[in-house]
Structure 1
Amino acid sequence: MASLTYSQCNILELWFMTLLYGAYVVIFFTSMYTIRTGSRRIGKPLIYTTIALFILSTAQTICILVYTLLTLTYDLRYTANLATLPAMTIKTLEHDQNVINLYQAMSDSMIATTNLIADGLLIWRCFVVWGRSFWIIALPIAILVAGSVCGYGVVVIDVIWYLKKVHHPMLKISGLSWDRLVHLETSFTKGFLIMSAATNILMSFLIAGRILCTVKNQIGYGYAREGKKYKRLVYLMIESGSIYSLSLLLSGVLYSAGYTASGSIVLGMQYQLVGIFPTLIILLVTLGKTVDQTDMAQLSGGRIEFSTNPARDIESAMTQKVSGPEIEVHVVTKSGTYFEGPSSYGSSPGHDRGEEEK
């Protein structure tokens, strides 16, 4: 499979991408339906972000589809002698090459934007969970900015590439300037993938660690069920962040190795995973599959609000005065009365006996 042609690798990438896109469509519309009909309130910024991720994913899928269809003629360019081809065929190849270069720039810009939104959302969640502490997100923001610079740096190179070849699309890539562009694009791509992976791994563990620290006393106070549900949320976040981060790292490694079948599979999955995992977590929270209604008060205004600490609830219940029927109990000798004073449960035989003795 490592000997697949360029167009065949793109077809393989498109196949895996559309496969996951089908799952993404189901998850997205299910989450929108549950948000609309569910009892849990989701903040509008979070809904808009989820919709934006889906729109970008859809545009990315369409872009890759058109790109792949056009690259079916790409192999002909390198396997056939252009001098022997008819003028009409060469003109078609030139047009396709121009569109390929343009769509490559569009695709890379959507990838950079999608990752910026998804990673920014993850940093915001971490910021809220850690009590809106800016120092905890200082490093993640720096990594996100560096990764975004690398991502949009790839887009700039794609645009330069397109402008240089728009009038000569069949121009062979040679010379120092071309080599410099290729080197910059490779470096920016690796930096973008590594930075995005680092952001996802760091954020996943920071959020998970904060949740575990917040509820570590739940099981000891008899909240074993709630504690387990928090752990399920933590495991989901770690697994989702780890899977996506692993796909980013694999993409960086396989990208360095050139166009291969393995790289195409990973890239096809990565395009959809960036939007699937945030939407999936929102769906599960809305359905109450990760935490109970009493555990997470709401998702409002783009922020996560947890319920009160169970330990405080227990202390409050122990110190709170219980209101109810007034009963006075006196412990006396066997010959004395057992009950004195008013009782809402009615007169007792002992009380009647006491009245008779008086």
Structure 2
Amino acid sequence: MTLSNDMAALIGFACEASLWGAYTVLFFVSMVLLFRRKERGFGNMPVIILSIALFLFCTAHFALEFNHFYTILRSIGVNGFANETKPLVGADIFISLCDLLGDFLLVYRCWALWGKKVWVVVLPFLTAVAGVGCMARAVHLTLVISPTAPVPDPSIVPLTTAAFSLPLCTNVMATGLILLRMWLMSRRTVTGLGIHGSKRVARSAVMIIVESGLLYLVTQLIFVVLVALAHPAQAIVAVMAVQIYGIAPTLIVLHVGLGIAVDTTTQNLPAGSTWASHSAGLATRSDVHVRTGTSVIGGAHGIKADGESLEMKTMESQSDFTAAV
């Protein structure tokens, strides 16, 4: 049986409702972890503000979809359920805004990992913003050309495709830059800490790709393909993607906050050390001193080894929880 636009919209709402429920639980748990771990690096306000704004935007989108669900079903039933309305136009705008905030979280993590060098993230930032610009133009043209159509008019499809392809490029570039930075760190680790440290950093790099980029990337790629094909299933993936934009970074907060994953802003972190395990939820920007006798590796933090004991001396630290988000 051919999937109709109305049926796709109904399935999409059911899927989004489930994902929003899961996202709500994950978000509040992550906030509890952030606020209860002040002694382990809490204080990165940009990522906290972005996370809260992202949750509010995702919730606003679900609220608009829920309002459309009970209003339209009560008034006209299933036939015509997918037709565009003014509240759905607002929901479409929130799709792009949620995508933008998710990209900003990824770009921020990349920026922090690269030592806060602006030039590294200029292009990913611009493609993310350009995607919102394309989406704004596409919404305007939709209201002018076909204000009630369930899918974009064929003349608008290229612009709509660009609106979601550009954030996809942001994801690919930012994730690639994160992987490159981790690879460069692993090369430095080989010199100072041996092959064991290198393997640990390499595993962290893979974890970043899988946890932070892959879920977001696959969802966005499927959505872009469906939009380009003008397939009705785009109505399912579109609303699911909104909640995934929020779930993906929130999972990273949980993994780091619970000590499951290591942080990725820490530079030259000595793998296998007691301090490395302790700082799984604390992103400390700066190099690390590893003092074994008279040898010193790194820069701003010191760890002294004396027989079986380890003395950690923090000379200068900056809490930066974001890179794990």
Q: Note the 1:133-148 alignment, pairs <5 A.
A: 133-148=117-132
2-structure distance, mates of 1:282, 1:75: 39
Larger Rg: 1
Contact 1:27 1:280 in 2 (8 A): yes
Q: Which amino acid aligns with 1:269?
A: M
Q: Residues 228-279 of structure 1, C-alpha deviation per residue, up to 9 Å, x if partnerless?
A: 554444223212313322222211221233343x434422431111111111
Equivalent pair of 1:226/1:291 in contact (CA under 8 Å): no
Structure 1: stretches of 5+ with no match in the other structure:
78-92, 174-180, 325-358
Give the Cα separation in 2 of the matches to 1:319 and 1:49: 38
Q: Is 1:185 the equivalent of 2:166?
A: no
What's the offset of the Cα at 1:220? 5.9
| Structure 2 segments unaligned to the other structure (5+ residues) | 264-273, 298-303, 307-325
Q: Hey, what does 1:313 align to over in structure 2?
A: 290
Structure 1 stretch 38-47 or stretch 193-202: which is displaced more?
Answer: 38-47
**8 Å contact kept, 2:259–2:281:** no
SS in 2 for 1:182: coil
Secondary structure, in 3 states, of the residue corresponding to 2:153?
helix
Relative to structure 1, the CA distance from residue 33 to residue 227 in structure 2 (aligned partners, 3 Å threshold; closer, same or farther) is farther
TM-score by length of 2: 0.73
Counterpart CA distance in 2 for 1:143 and 1:213 is 25
From 127, 149, 155, the counterpart of 2:139: 155
Cα pair distance change 1:5/1:319, threshold 3 Å: closer
CA distance, structure 1, for counterparts of residue 197 and residue 18 of structure 2: 35
Matched, 1:60 2:61: yes
Match of 2:242 in 1: 271
Equivalent residue, structure 2, for 1:355: none
Q: What TM-score comes out, normalization by structure 1 length?
A: 0.67
Identity in percent: 25
Q: Give 2:230's match in structure 1, choosing from 251, 258, 264.
A: 258
Pair 208,75 (structure 1): closer, same or farther in 2 beyond 3 Å? same
Tell me which residue corresponds to 1:200: 171
Note the C-alpha offset of 1:9: 0.9
Task: Give 3-state SS (helix, strand or coil) of 1:313's partner.
Answer: strand
Aligned to 2:221: 249
The one-letter amino acid paired with 1:60 is: H
Q: Is the 8 A contact 1:297 1:306 kept in 2?
A: no
One-letter amino acid matched to 2:69: T
Q: 1:225 to 1:18 in 2, by over 3 A?
A: farther
Output aligned runs, 1:1-358, within 5 Å.
1=1, 3-38=2-37, 39-42=39-42, 43-72=44-73, 73=76, 76=79, 100-160=84-144, 182-218=153-189, 221-222=192-193, 227=198, 229-239=200-210, 240-260=212-232, 262-291=233-262, 294-295=275-276, 305-306=284-285, 308-309=287-288, 312-314=289-291, 317-318=294-295
Q: Deviations over 1:69-118 (max 9, x none)?
A: 445437546xxxxxxxxxxxxxxx9xx97xx4201210111112112222
For the structure 1 residues 211 and 75, does the alpha-carbon distance in structure 2 shift closer, same or farther, using more than 3 Å as the test?
A: same
CA contact (8 A) 1:104 1:158 kept: no
CA-based RMSD of the aligned residues comes to 3.4
What amino acid is aligned across from residue 100 of structure 2 in structure 1?
Answer: L
Q: For residue 316 of structure 1, report the CA deviation from its aligned partner.
A: 6.8
SS in 1 for 2:40: coil
Aligned residue pairs total: 281
Distance 1:158 1:74, change over 3 A: farther
SS in 1 for 2:156: helix
Moved more, 104-113 or 224-233: 224-233
- Change over 3 Å in CA distance of 1:235–1:283 after alignment to 2: same
Contact 2:96/2:132 (CA < 8 Å) preserved in 1?
A: yes
The 10-residue stretch of structure 1 (228-237 or 267-276) with the greater mean CA deviation from structure 2: 228-237
